[in-house]
Every structure is written in C-alpha cells, then in structure tokens.
Amino acid sequence: MVLHGKIGTEIEIKAPADKLYNIFKSAHLIPNISTAHIKGVDVHEGDWETHGSIKIWKYELGKYKFNFYSWDHVGIFKEQVELDDENKAATLIGLEGEMFKYYKRFKAVYQFTQKDEGTGIANLWIEYEKLNEDVEAPDRYIGLMVNLVQDLDAHFLGA
C-alpha cells in the first residue's frame, strides 16, 4: 500500500475567483462566514496577509454519535501559508495538529480560477504522507474544504 498521495476535487463557484482567493489571504474573516465549520483562526507568527505567516485554525469536522451520545469533533491545524497571487492559490502547509496523529506530511491547497463572468472553479487538494498503511486517505478533510468554499461562495453571492 502507498503511504503518500494526493487527493482532491473540483467544484464550481459563482462568486468571483479573486474574492475567494483574497478571503484566504486575509483569513481572519473566515470564521465569521463559515461558522459551522471554522471555529476560529489566529495568527501565530507574521500577519494575516503575508506569505510565510503561520496561523492556527480551529475547525469542526462534524458531529459524531455513539449510542445515545453525540459530540462535536473540533480539531486544531497549525499551518504556514504560501500565497501564489498569479495562480490565485493558497497553500496551507501543516506544522502541527490532530491530523499528525495519522499523517507525517499534510498540505492543503485552495486554487481559484475564473471561467467566465458568472462561474469559476475551485480546485481543492491535499498532499499527504500517512504514518502507516492502516491510515485512510484524508477524505474527511477534503469534505471540510468543500464545505468551507461553499460557505464562502454563498456568502459572496448573498452580499
């Protein structure tokens, strides 16, 4: 079994690609827009919009149920951001967090492309390396990325 890989998806967006990319550059507004999925984000080093800055995200992967009990699954992701203005791509290089219980390397990429006046594409992918063969691919994190972009897209359409 392969221990490293890349998984991703492509979704259509209605909001301008520039707006979605720019909100990732200044991530401090994201918890106010995607309240069900992002519980907070803080700058650890650098600032909100500088390439190389380090941020700490609090995110919710969803509710878990067992028998009569249910709880929210909130995780932490400390990342260093790489910004590519030309390609409208924000790369979040994982430094610490819950996913490192399962993965040796974890990098999430959000890239936005404008197709025409009313539509665009969000390419979302994760490059990862598992700690061992028993670890699943990070599908639930791709799901979180999709939910986040859909929340942001809906916000800009309603604004």
- Tell me how far apart the terminal alpha carbons of the chain are, to the nearest angstrom: 47
Tell me what pLDDT residue 129 has. 97
Token pair of 11, please?
A: 């979704």
The domain limits of the chain are 4-158
d(C-alpha 139, C-alpha 147), whole Å: 12
**Tens digit of pLDDT for each residue in 50-102?**
999 999 999 988 655 555 554 457 889 999 999 999 999 999 999 999 999 99
Tell me what pLDDT residue 125 has. 98
4-158 has which CATH code?
A: 3.30.530.20
Angle at 119 between CA 116 and CA 125, to 5 degrees: 115
- Global model pTM greater than 0.85: yes
Tell me what pLDDT residue 1 has. 59
**Tens digit of pLDDT for each residue in 9-58?**
999 999 999 999 999 888 999 999 999 899 999 999 999 989 999 999 99
Query: By C-alpha distance, which of 95, 100, 96, 110 is closest to 142?
Result: 110
Average pLDDT, the chain: 90
